[in-house]
Amino acid sequence: MRNFRNFLEWKIFGVCTHLGEKLNISISRIRLWFIYISFLTFGSPVILYFIVAFWMNIKNYILSAKRNPLRWF
């Protein structure tokens, strides 16, 4: 069960976890506010969530040592 929870937090909810760690705010509070805002604005923050998730994935891909085209050595 713990592995499943870790998978959900890092793969599916990675954006909220990352924001919580960077801003030093409770992750559950960020998720709760995301849900509230999504209901009030008819789901438009979901688009922002996907953009941030895409950006985080690209950043990790570029900065990885194995596949970094910017690394010359």
Write down the pLDDT at residue 68.
56
**73 in any annotated domain:** no
Write down the pLDDT at residue 24.
92
Asked whether the CA dihedral 20, 70, 48, 3 is positive or negative, the reply is negative
- For 58, half-sphere exposure in the C-beta direction (CA atoms, 13 angstrom radius) is 6
Mean pLDDT, the chain, as a whole number? 78
**What pLDDT digit, counting tens, does each position of 44-57 carry?**
888 888 888 888 87
**32 in any annotated domain:** yes
In total, how many domains does the chain have? 1
**70 in any annotated domain:** no
Spans of the chain, pLDDT less than 70: 8-11, 13, 60-73
**43 in any annotated domain:** yes
**72 in any annotated domain:** no
Asked whether the CA dihedral 15, 26, 32, 41 is positive or negative, the reply is negative
Q: Please state, in angstroms and rounded to a whole number, the distance separating the CA atoms of residues 21 and 27.
A: 8
* Domain span holding position 14: 2-63
Long-range contacts of 24-31 (CB under 8 A, 24+ apart): none
**47 in any annotated domain:** yes
Write down the pLDDT at residue 55.
82
